[in-house]
Structure 1
Amino acid sequence: MSETVVEEAAAARKQTLRDELTARRKAMTPDLIDTRGLKVQSRFLATQYYHKARTVALYAPIRGEVPTRDILIAALQDEKIVCYPLSHVHGRILSFRAIKSEAELEPGRLGVREPTNSSDLIAVDQIDLFVVPGLGFTRDGKRLGRGGGYYDATLRAASARSRRVGLAFSDQLVEILPTTGDDVDMDLVVTESETCRGLFREPEFLDT
């Protein structure tokens, strides 16, 4: 079987899973998202990845993604540099700006909250820890996104010392995800009920 046929089959399986996982997410009520989201964030904040990171890239949740507000508040109190992606993308790699308060997040071009233009740009290779959303994850760190490929491209462009943690609800965990060479695995996947070891590389963020 040719590589092209394999990739096409993987893409078809991914789309089927996206439809299933999107339906699961839509079935969650706002109250349930908030309640479970608090537990996910609390579990994430207890990880060594969070504690050792100096610069953290968060996301502003949309369409039932795990909330990140508690992480933002904690990271600012811990005097970490916190940045968010911008909706204007040059190529496939996301751009990030730092914020010093939640008030600096405003609805952007796609309706997703993002930093204002007055915020400082943060180079991708300066980010220690990427907190990554997704439609689905496996316990060994594989991730299914919405299909744009922006996070995968960005994570490949990041520093080799950077790490990535996927946030998910337990309903988003699946046993198997079809992958291609473009997909990037997570170091951890954190849900409201468990912390799953993905790549589980040591959180050593200092340059060597």
Structure 2
Amino acid sequence: MSETVAQEGVGRKVSLREELTARRKAMTPEIIDERGLKVQSRFLATPYYNKARTVALYAPIRGEVPTRDILIAALQDEKIVCYPLSHVHGRILAFRAIKSEAELEPGRLGVREPTNSADLIAVDQIDLFVVPGLGFSPDGKRLGRGGGYYDATLKAASARSRRVGLAFNDQIVDTIPTNSDDVDMDLVVTESQTLRGLYRDWDFLDT
């Protein structure tokens, strides 16, 4: 890839982030909750969720799709549910498992995360990563906030792990510029559609 093309991709990402951030800010809490219920319900019907034993969720911030219904369902289904921690060594996220919502407390960045008493879960033990994002494309490309932590973490995960992006319809764009550091989703789930990205097998078999 030429330097000019790479710079154009970076510039496009910056403008897309600004556009998608503005879209998200325009959504009221009521709309987020209403549409969020539909996204979560659609996600819970996917074979990826049904087959997964260990699920990594995120605690939503700044207009991200809620995940509380997924947490409640996963705990009832006796899955191991873990969340990322704000303290990061390098670029790979660390995760701790919780057994109830009460074990999530505001961390140093204001994002809810498991208490230190919760069990650490190795990244390579996670079957399914539920991933937030500013935007997604129909073919599974993802635009994050720019830190690259999820991309690095997903690359460090087991080859048998899968990833599903949660988004509102407003966050779906035709194309997202990517580079070799970016990681695609297996599915992108919105309130009205389930978009196939990589759509790899959901048996989570060791490969």
TM-score category by the smaller chain? over 0.9
Are 2:204 and 1:169 equivalent residues in the alignment? no
Structure-2 separation of matches of 1:124 and 1:96: 7
Matched residue SS, 1:189: strand
Matched residue SS, 1:22: helix
Structure-1 separation of matches of 2:5 and 2:124: 32
1:94 corresponds in structure 2 to 93
TM-score for the superposition, normalised by structure 1:
0.98
Matched residue SS, 1:51: helix
- The residue type equivalent to 2:131 in the other structure is V
TM-score for the superposition, normalised by structure 2:
0.98
Matched residue SS, 2:177: coil
Provide, for residues 11-51 of structure 1, a one-character-per-residue CA deviation record: whole Å limited to 9, x for no partner: 11101000000000000000000000000000000000000
Q: Which runs of no fewer than 5 residues in structure 1 stay unpaired?
A: none
- Counterparts of 1:1-208 in structure 2 under 5 Å? 3-207=2-206
Provide, for residues 75-95 of structure 1, a one-character-per-residue CA deviation record: whole Å limited to 9, x for no partner: 000000000000000100000
Provide, for residues 47-90 of structure 1, a one-character-per-residue CA deviation record: whole Å limited to 9, x for no partner: 00000000000000000000000000000000000000000001
Matched residue SS, 2:188: strand
| Residues 54 and 128 in structure 2, CA contact (< 8 A), matched pair in contact too | yes
Q: Which runs of no fewer than 5 residues in structure 2 stay unpaired?
A: none
| Residues 83 and 96 in structure 2, CA contact (< 8 A), matched pair in contact too | yes
Structure-2 separation of matches of 1:158 and 1:9: 30
Structure-1 separation of matches of 2:10 and 2:134: 15
Structure-1 separation of matches of 2:124 and 2:7: 32
Structure-2 separation of matches of 1:77 and 1:207: 26
Distance apart, 1:116 and its partner CA = 0.2
**Deviation beyond 4 Å, 4+ runs, structure 1:** none
| Residues 159 and 206 in structure 2, CA contact (< 8 A), matched pair in contact too | no
Structure-2 separation of matches of 1:79 and 1:123: 18
Matched residue SS, 2:96: strand
Structure-2 separation of matches of 1:144 and 1:122: 26
Provide, for residues 76-133 of structure 1, a one-character-per-residue CA deviation record: whole Å limited to 9, x for no partner: 0000000000000010000000000000000001000000000000000000000000
Structure-2 separation of matches of 1:50 and 1:189: 13
Structure-2 separation of matches of 1:127 and 1:19: 32
Structure-1 separation of matches of 2:151 and 2:3: 20
**How many residues are matched?**
207
Identity %: 83
Structure-2 separation of matches of 1:113 and 1:3: 41
| Residues 84 and 96 in structure 2, CA contact (< 8 A), matched pair in contact too | yes
Distance apart, 1:204 and its partner CA = 1.7
Matched residue SS, 1:118: coil
Structure-2 separation of matches of 1:6 and 1:88: 34
